[in-house]
Amino acid sequence: MRLLVRRLTPNNSPAAIATTMLAAILAAMAIASLLFLDFGANPLSAYYALFHEPFGTLRGFGYAVVKATPLTLIALGTIVACRSGFTYLGFEGCFTLGAAASAWLALATAPGQWAASLSPLLFFPAAVLISFTVGALWSGLTGILRARFGGNEVLISLMSNYVAILIVKYLVAGPMRAPGSLPETDQLPHATWLAFIIPGTRGHAGVLIALAAAFLVWMLLRKLPLGFELIVSGLNPAAARYAGIDVARRTLLAAALSGGLGALAGLTEILGVQHRLMDGISGGVGFTGVIVALLAEMNPIAVLPTALIYGGMTVGADAMQRRAGIPSSITFILQSLIVLFVLASSMLRYYRFNFAALRSKKEAMQA
Amino acid sequence: MSVFSQAFLVTWLTAGIRLGGPVLLAALGETFAERSGILNLGIEGILLLGALASYLTSIHTGSLWLPLFAAMLTGFAAALFLAWMYVTVRASQVVVGLVFNVLALGIAATVYRRTLAHASPGPIAMFQAVHIPWVSDLPIVGPTLFSQTLPLYLTLVLVVVAHFALFHTRFGLGLRAAGENPRAADAAGISVPRMRYLGTLISGAAAGLAGGYLVLAQIGLFRDSIVAGQGFIALGIVIFGRWSPWKAALAAMVFGTCDALQLSLQLLGTHLPEELLLSIPYVVTILAISGIFGGRDVRPAALAVPYAKEA
């Protein structure tokens, strides 16, 4: 008799899913603990540092919110695209272009420029509109290639990232470059900065954009007929077509929405954090956001806490590096191991403990 | 030096072929994975791990070939994990690949800080250009094609080997069947999981080797930024090369020469923005895979679709 018995179908009860996920997270944390030990740190205090800074101090919490804001927007973009059957991975590009578009408008409001008379009250809606549009058009190109010509959106969107990043690299090295040794723009006028809304921290108003977007995406997918059509197009294009849904048009719409959300992430970063445009501004957030969406099980509300925890871990890791000299890159390892182990943990649900075997063994030993 | 001089042409093409080498090697391996139905986005991370492994081995042994072997072994080990995730767990290949790249970046950065950040090792032994007798004296092709490093020659040999293995062996037929129609392949007695494991392992070994190639024949040092998207370029080459080793070699040439053109034109002091030139390969790839130009869809039909034998 064996202690572990293979099942024919995985156990899909909530308890089984929760148990295996917990086991996966603990396993990932155990492996990261070994790394902490290797760097001469007590794992318990390392984990304490990792979570105390972002969630136990106001300043750190502000930073966590700042980090979570673009992650949330990109994760929301991923959700809209994915649930409509459009695997979009071009968020690095959308983020960069959205950042560039809002920087361009912000710089145009400097004294002497053509938009100098634009009141701050009008500036923010205009910036949101323009960067959303730029992102939507950009991802819409991939959407057209997929919907009209049957191109593979995964690889096209991956490639489009490089083109977008090169476009912005060109802009900061040429037309938008400020005098000086570095390829970057001037600092944006103070009036165009997103207000710091969490007192005593760098937490800026971009988080409101992220919260509003989460609500709107939730509305769209759960409450509106259009969202239902998007989801049906994603689940079964043939059935959707049969029901009279224009699948190509829905795909295009999903692509545009997700790219627009990705561009808004760039807007919050440029108007809330960097305050000037430079090369390499995205730093991989376009991919991390996709992972956040996945961990949140493609649920627009669950994205909020997930992005906060993910962003918080980044903040905690920086603090850990400053104080204990533990490289913050360990957090990359911890985060990605958690995702991989959670994915792999579905395998565990194919097994069950054979308690009967355990009992009979005990009885046999007693006899 | 003018744009049309032979010296310019030679410098340009030599650099182009040189730059295309590592990505071609990675693309050759990826061709096997994709032909078996696995979209292995993790090669970006494997390139990085291979580069790290070869660099560490090189500074500890001073050998030339041992680091290359270590890189391949590292790629193989990483691919074993990836194959398990792709084939046995049947997780989303896109997600696993992307997350693995983050993991690899974390590992590379951590190991680098742990072992090298405080000590600064001297220059490592690198592959030098080998001039092949007779043919390297030919005009233009001599210096461009026959005065390269050993890993490049090895890669060119592997193009032939890969073509033969894919299209003229039982193994290649089984591999392609697993990627085109796994159900039919299964019915014909071919083990689809086995083929997909093999495809992923080949792509991992090749990507690891390519990482070692990058360090040992081109860069000569390690930073966690040296790969910077070359794995994704290799993916583009596979598609642009329509899943064929020969065409992948041509596609890698296009990438390499566009990359080199930008360097050469900068030397000449032209005013074309380098970003425009740099973006050509990506734009060309996007157009090539967009489906705009019609053409037969040669993508393996079951690419990135997990296969579960029905119980």
Q: What is the pLDDT of residue B311?
A: 46
CA distances from B261 to B15, B16, B19, B170, B253 (A): 9, 8, 11, 41, 12
Answer yes or no: do A151 and B291 touch at CB < 8 A. Answer: yes
| Cα B299 from Cα B311, distance rounded (Å) | 28
Answer yes or no: do A287 and B98 touch at CB < 8 A. Answer: yes
Q: What is the pLDDT of residue B125?
A: 80
Cβ–Cβ under 8 Å, residues A290 and A275: no
The answer to pTM > 0.90 is no
Task: Tell me the residues of chain B between 108 and 147 that have a Cβ less than 8 Å away from chain A.
Answer: 108-110, 113-114
Q: Does B255 or B156 have the greater pLDDT score?
A: B156
* Closest Cβ opposite residue B110 in set A155, A162, A329: A329
- Confidence band (pLDDT; 50, 70, 90) for B190? very high
Answer yes or no: do B235 and A158 touch at CB < 8 A. Answer: yes
| Cα B117 from Cα B121, distance rounded (Å) | 10
| CATH tag, B6-290 | 1.10.3470
Cβ–Cβ under 8 Å, residues A91 and A286: yes
The answer to whether residue B211 scores a pLDDT higher than 90 is: yes
In 3D, which of A248, A234, A252 has the Cα closest to residue A79?
Answer: A234
Cβ–Cβ under 8 Å, residues A32 and A327: no
Partners of A351 in beta bridges: A6
| DSSP string of chain B, one letter each residue | --TTSHHHHHHHHHHHHHHHHHHHHHHHHHHHHHHTT---TTHHHHHHHHHHHHHHHHHHH--SHHHHHHHHHHHHHHHHHHHIIIIIS---HHHHHHHHHHHHHHHHHHHHHHHTSSS---PPP-PPB-PPTTGGGSTTHHHHHSSSBHHHHHHHHHHHHHHHHHHSSHHHHHHHHHHH-HHHHHHTT--HHHHHHHHHHHHHHHHHHHHHHIIIIII-S--TTSSTTHHHHHHHHHHHTTT-HHHHHHHHHHHHHHHHHHHHHHHHT--S-HHHHHHHHHHHHHHHHHSTT-----S-TTTT-------
The alpha carbon dihedral of A141, A144, A145, A147 has a sign of positive
| Cα A75 from Cα A150, distance rounded (Å) | 25
Q: What is the pLDDT of residue B2?
A: 57
Asked if B299 has any chain A CB less than 8 Å from its own CB, the reply is yes
| Cα B218 from Cα A30, distance rounded (Å) | 38
Range with lowest mean pLDDT among B125-134, B142-151, B180-189, B289-298 = B289-298
Give A-chain residues touching B84 at CB under 8 angstroms.
344
Task: Tell me the residues of chain B between 75 and 114 that have a Cβ less than 8 Å away from chain A.
Answer: 84-85, 88-89, 91-92, 94-96, 98-103, 105-110, 113-114
Tokens representing A343 are 């994915």
Q: With helix as H, strand as E and coil as C, how does A18-44 read?
A: HHHHHHHHHHHHHHHHHHHHHCCCCHH
Q: What is the pLDDT of residue A277?
A: 92
Give B-chain residues touching A321 at CB under 8 angstroms.
none
pLDDT digits (tens, 9 = 90+) for A326-345: 887 888 898 889 889 988 88
pLDDT digits (tens, 9 = 90+) for A265-300: 999 999 999 999 988 888 788 988 998 998 888 899
Among B113, B255, B272, most A C-beta atoms within 10 A, so best to mutate, is B113
Q: Does A213 or A13 have the greater pLDDT score?
A: A213
| Cα A52 from Cα B243, distance rounded (Å) | 50
Give, for A5, the enclosing helix (H) or strand (E).
strand A4-6
Helix ranges (H only) for chain A are: 14-38, 43-56, 58-83, 91-108, 120-149, 153-173, 206-223, 225-235, 237-242, 247-269, 285-295, 303-324, 329-344, 355-366
Among B282, B287, B298, B305, most A C-beta atoms within 10 A, so best to mutate, is B282
What's the whole-number mean pLDDT along residues B205-214? 96
The answer to whether residue B197 scores a pLDDT higher than 50 is: yes
Q: How far is A348 from chain B (nearest CA, A)?
A: 10
The answer to whether residue A1 scores a pLDDT higher than 70 is: no
Give the number of C-alpha atoms closer than 13 A to the C-alpha of residue A357, restricted to the C-beta side: 8
The answer to whether residue B120 scores a pLDDT higher than 70 is: no
Q: Which residues contact B100 (CB under 8 A, 6 or more apart)?
A: A336, A340, B41, B42, B45, B78, B81, B82, B85
Say whether A61 sits in a helix, a strand or coil.
helix
Give A-chain residues touching B101 at CB under 8 angstroms.
287
Q: In chain A, pLDDT over 90 holds for what percent of residues?
A: 41
Q: What is the pLDDT of residue B11?
A: 82
| Cα A103 from Cα A99, distance rounded (Å) | 6
Answer yes or no: do A173 and B297 touch at CB < 8 A. Answer: no
For chain A, give every domain's residue range: 11-39+327-359, 58-325
**Main-chain phi, psi angles of A178, to 5 degrees:** -90, 150
The answer to whether residue B310 scores a pLDDT higher than 70 is: no
Q: How far is A118 from chain B (nearest CA, A)?
A: 32
The label of the residue with tokens 């719409």 reads A253
What's the whole-number mean pLDDT along residues B36-51? 95
| DSSP string of A159-196, one letter each residue | HHHHHHHHHHHHHHHTTTPPSSSSSBPPPPPGGGSPPB
Q: In chain B, pLDDT over 70 holds for what percent of residues?
A: 94
Question: Which CATH fold topology does A58-325 show?
Answer: ABC transporter involved in vitamin B12 uptake, BtuC (1.10.3470)
Cβ–Cβ under 8 Å, residues A164 and A92: yes
Cβ–Cβ under 8 Å, residues A160 and A93: yes
Cβ–Cβ under 8 Å, residues B38 and B291: no
Q: What is the pLDDT of residue B119?
A: 67
The answer to whether residue B256 scores a pLDDT higher than 80 is: yes
Range with lowest mean pLDDT among A49-63, A133-147, B193-207, B287-301 = B287-301
DSSP label at residue A244: T
Answer yes or no: do A169 and B275 touch at CB < 8 A. Answer: yes
Mean pLDDT, rounded, of chain A = 88
Among A87, A138, A146, A159, most B C-beta atoms within 10 A, so best to mutate, is A159
Mean pLDDT, rounded, of chain B = 87
Task: Tell me the residues of chain B between 228 and 267 that have a Cβ less than 8 Å away from chain A.
Answer: 229, 232, 235-236, 239
**Main-chain phi, psi angles of A200, to 5 degrees:** 80, 5
The answer to whether residue A356 scores a pLDDT higher than 50 is: yes
Cβ–Cβ under 8 Å, residues A359 and A9: no
Answer yes or no: do B99 and A336 touch at CB < 8 A. Answer: yes
Chain A residue closest to B229 (CA)? A162
pLDDT digits (tens, 9 = 90+) for B57-66: 998 888 889 9
Q: How far is B294 from chain A (nearest CA, A)?
A: 8
Q: What is the pLDDT of residue A173?
A: 87
Q: What ipTM did this prediction achieve? A: 0.86
Partners of A196 in beta bridges: A204
Q: What is the pLDDT of residue B178?
A: 94
Chain B residue closest to A339 (CA)? B99
For chain B, give every domain's residue range: 6-290
Instruction: Give residue A206's Cα distance to chain centre.
Output: 15
Chain B residue closest to A149 (CA)? B291
The answer to whether residue B269 scores a pLDDT higher than 80 is: no
What's the whole-number mean pLDDT along residues A354-363? 74
Answer yes or no: do A343 and B96 touch at CB < 8 A. Answer: yes
pLDDT digits (tens, 9 = 90+) for A176-232: 888 887 888 888 888 888 888 888 788 888 999 999 999 999 999 999 999 999 999
Chain B residue closest to A327 (CA)? B110
DSSP label at residue A47: H
What's the whole-number mean pLDDT along residues B232-255? 88
What's the whole-number mean pLDDT along residues B99-103? 92
Give B-chain residues touching A331 at CB under 8 angstroms.
106
What's the whole-number mean pLDDT along residues A44-57? 85
